[in-house]
Amino acid sequence: MQTMMNSQDHASEIEHSSTLDSDWWRQAVVYQIYPRSFFDTDGDGLGDIKGITQKVSYLKDLGIDAVWLSPFYPSPLADGGYDVANYTDVDPRLGSLADFDELISELHKVGIRVFVDIVPNHSSSEHPWFKQALASQPGSPERSRYHFYDGSGENGELPPSDWPSFFAPSAWTRTQNSDGSLGQWYLHLFAPEQPDFNWEHPDVPELFLQILKFWADRGVDGFRIDVAHALKKDMSQPFRSYPVLREMETPLTGDGVFLDRNEVHEVYKSWRILFNEYNPPRVAVAEAYIRPERRVLYASPDELGQAFNFDLLSSEFDAGEFRTVISKNLEFAAINASSSTWVLSNHDKPRHATKYGFAKIADADDWLLSSGESPVPDSALGLARARAATLLILALPGSTYLFQGEELGLYEVADIPVDQIQDPMWERSHHAAKGRDGCRVPLPWSANEKSFGFSSGTPHLPQPSGFGLFAADKQDRVSGSTLEMYRNAIKIRKQILVGESFSWIENPNSNVLHFQRENGWQCMTNFGSDSVPLPEGTLLIASTSESPEMLLPNTTVWVQK
Ligand code: NOJ
């Protein structure tokens, strides 16, 4: 007979290990915080560092091993903080370095480690180096820290090459000289306010070693490396043509035009030397939207050690797709003795509770563009599938990255008024893409307070009235709530996890995925539309709130054999 075992019945509650365990990251649960939308303590409508400190007990109760803080540095916010004006300070609107030190100390006290985001491909156009470059002559040392070139065409009126940017049609913007005449062009793979560094200039690698050291010395445990594959470019003349930006189609040879070039690995080898000077060594994870075959290079132990696997972000809720992604990524991680990562939501993608409510996940893009009018997602189905998928990835070997608010079952917000959209993608795509604000809406903490307890002021992005139903205080200690499911699952995982073993258990139903971990821990997910028999064993947790006799559609269970 099956019984639902309360996680409290397991071995006594395990505090996070604060020992110097150099492998702590391999199977860590990492919670991504988008600081400006987490919790505001000073009423300016922007979340702040003190706000995170105030919620340390919430993070501890969630049971996570680490937080990853998206950029909190001084920034004009042309791209949600991924345009950094000063890499070794805190945005005064978010607090101070003293607040950061307090946060890290409070997190460490409860055994939670800290990743910070490093943005090495580009700075903000407000960074002192870029301002100096603009104020200097073409060909000057100041300009050569970035990529400044004369334009093509008879009078330099055309961009130097046909390279596209992720946010704008062209990766080049023309400067204006102090006398008002038009000048050189500079390269930016993202927004014009994010000029790309020239990594061939010795000041640039040196600056980033200093930045990494600055944060590592402050006690930061790990780094998430933004567009890790873009640092090195082929700037040989004449420029090679690259009219279409398709990262996943980057050649597998390491000689692409400006993505995933072989020389980038020299940078990460030098970073690894620095990381290993610390005890325990500092860790890092590469953000590189490239094919898994190439991604593994970044994850090698003499480089960053781990790379994000984003394959589930583009997978349908489908047993076959999940199985392929899981098998492939476990194999790739094994190549260089890394561990895989698993991600269903982050600050760049529509929340998975919404995405899975559509017939096809790509429908979410049309829905966003229509401001939530059509096609309409089945939100109950989306949440059920999201919970099932989360429970599945939490049972896999490797580290799981969670995005703030997914533990509340939050949905993507589609109807942010267009005059309040912050994402540069909206304007730069000429309104063809709504952008990423819908997953960055401030969190609801308490159902009955102003701005659902996020801020005493006006939240920097508007919250929908429906967020109240998902508020943390509505779910706290409520059996079957999404928040409690996350808490229980993370706790059980931590109590069982020892090694990284994994094997599939074949099931005659192709809509079912079933696998085994160490010590008889099994996970089964029903991706189909009919109930199926539960696996044998003691039921540890289910993604549905009922304790079912059968495994319902869109449901995951963990059992102990
Ligand atoms: C990836 C980050 O996740 C995204 O938010 C940002 O816009 C780009 N890199 C540029 O930094």
Residue pLDDT, tens place only, 317-354: 999 999 999 999 999 999 989 999 999 999 999 999 99
Return the structure tokens found at 215.
């944060």
CA distance 26 to 274: 20
16 CA to middle of ligand 1, Å?
31
CB 17 within 8 A of CB 551: no
Say whether 200 is catalytic.
no
Query: For ligand 1, is residue 79 a contact (CB within 6 Å)?
Result: yes
pLDDT in tens, 152-174: 999 999 999 999 999 878 999 99
CB 160 within 8 A of CB 151: yes
Question: Does residue 3 surpass a pLDDT of 90?
Answer: no
Domains of the chain: 29-121+202-475 (3.20.20.80), 128-187 (3.90.400.10)
178 CA to middle of ligand 1, Å?
31
**How would residue 244 be classed by pLDDT, with cut points 50, 70 and 90?**
confident
The fraction of the chain above a pLDDT of 90, given in percent, is 87
pLDDT in tens, 108-117: 999 999 999 9
235 CA to middle of ligand 1, Å?
23
Which pLDDT does position 250 carry in this prediction?
72
Question: What count of other Cβ atoms lies within 10 Å of the Cβ of residue 6?
Answer: 12
How many residues in the chain? 561
Question: Does residue 14 surpass a pLDDT of 50?
Answer: no
Contacts 24+ apart (CB under 8 A), 358-366: 358/382, 360/316, 361/314, 361/315, 361/316, 361/317, 364/412, 365/433, 365/434
DSSP state of 555: E
Instruction: Please count the helices (runs of H) and the strands (runs of E) in the chain.
Output: 14, 18
Which pLDDT does position 248 carry in this prediction?
66
Q: 68, 72, 82: which to mutate for ligand 1, most atoms within 8 A of CB? A: 82
Task: Lowest mean pLDDT of 108-117, 390-399, 427-436, 528-537, name the range.
Answer: 427-436
Return the structure tokens found at 64.
């996570």
Say whether 44 is catalytic.
no
Query: For ligand 1, is residue 353 a contact (CB within 6 Å)?
Result: no
Q: Give the mean model confidence (pLDDT) for residues 64-93.
A: 98
Query: For ligand 1, is residue 348 a contact (CB within 6 Å)?
Result: yes
533 CA to middle of ligand 1, Å?
43
Which atom of ligand 1 is nearest to 121's Cα? 11
pLDDT in tens, 489-505: 999 999 999 899 999 99
Query: For ligand 1, is residue 425 a contact (CB within 6 Å)?
Result: no
Q: Which residue has the tokens 């006690």?
A: 219
